[in-house]
Amino acid sequence: MQTVLSNHLQQYQHHHRLSPIQSKVCHRMGLCRTKALGGQQVHCDHCGFEQQRYHSCRNRHCPKCQYKASQQWCEKQRQQVLPVNYFHVVFTLPHAINPWVQCHPEVIYRCLFQSVWHTIQTFGQDPKRLNGNMGMTAVLHTWGQNLSQHVHLHCLIPGGALSQDQSQWHPARSNYLFPVKALSRCFRSTMVSALRCAYRNGELHRLNGEEVAQCLDALMQQDWVVYSKAYLKKADTIVRYLGRYTHKIAISDARIKGINDAQVTFGYKDYRDGKDKLMRLDGEEFIRRFLLHVLPEGLMRIRHYGFLSNRTRKQKLETIRACLLAPVQATSGEQALAPEVPGLSASAMCACPRCRKGYLRVCFEIPAKPG
């Protein structure tokens, strides 16, 4: 992505105006792991190998910075996994709403999160279903494989509900959690109602009222896409599975196969036939598509609900484990911390890439370049 931005961003700016947040993202990504951000000179205590390691930009849209963030996040979540079946449910917004997302992203994303949780909560509290309070972790994705706008929520949901009096755990009995068609209808009506309410409150002021009404009326006549995947059970599998989605970005560096002065070539999976293919886009169009997925500053794309919400999670998980007679599991071997080595900083505590025997120690700090 750094090469793409270096080759094509200036030309893109001749025809398009960057928003402040888009400009900030492009600037930070261009500096990521370069001398401009400073770093450390490291030295192997076994073979003498030396290397300069520059700081990352830590921007959530940067392909270079998300793997480590995903690993750290997963380690925090591992102790919160319950010994129950988990379900992966995806709620997708119709593409007719995509132009609204570009005008009012904060409002549309807020309505999406709230509508999805309301749908799951409604089904979970139904006495004919689970008759209890549910939990959910939801992750916002805004892209398709070809970088087009495709707004959807990935939801990982423990298969069951905690009774209202918090004395029993009601497990899900099916292998699809809830009927997908029923979920789709409930999600559609809830989301449309939320959008109508947002428009009446003046939150969608950039949109034309007549067009909003016509679009929502038409969407109420369509089937909305909800996908439910068979359950997962092993804790490590669940955490790794969730980690694939939490810090995923629109495109990774590994998918970019070629860059020249005119075009960018990248790989994608065509889900219509299940085949991996290559797509070539003009540099400007590639950047335009990438910038569609820059989120508003401060927007939380990972959210926890119900008994997984941050405020009550610790207490509720203890209650559920007591109902299940399942104590917290000890950490596994793959979670073990790296050995403590005197004189090594946390950021440089890794094996030497040359000899694989020594550790890299910090010799000195490389200052960042001002400006």
Residue 205 lies inside a defined structural domain of this protein: yes
Residue 341 lies inside a defined structural domain of this protein: no
Query: What CATH number is associated with residue 152?
Result: 3.40.1310
- Rounded to 10 degrees, what is the CA torsion of 209, 210, 213, 214? -150
Return the pLDDT at 352: 86
Return the pLDDT at 73: 72
Residue 351 lies inside a defined structural domain of this protein: no
- Which residues of the chain fall below pLDDT 70? 67-69, 234-236, 247, 327-349, 371
pTM for the full model?
Answer: 0.86
Q: What residues pair up with 84 in beta bridges, in sequence order?
A: none
Residue 177 lies inside a defined structural domain of this protein: yes
Residue 350 lies inside a defined structural domain of this protein: no
Express each pLDDT in 270-328 by its tens digit.
888 889 999 999 999 999 999 999 999 989 999 999 999 989 999 999 999 999 987 65
Return the pLDDT at 67: 67
Residue 195 lies inside a defined structural domain of this protein: yes
Number of domains in the chain: 1
Express each pLDDT in 56-107 by its tens digit.
888 888 888 876 667 777 777 777 888 888 899 999 999 999 999 999 999 9
Residue 130 lies inside a defined structural domain of this protein: yes
Residue 359 lies inside a defined structural domain of this protein: no
Return the pLDDT at 236: 66
For residue 207, give its domain range.
66-250+292-324
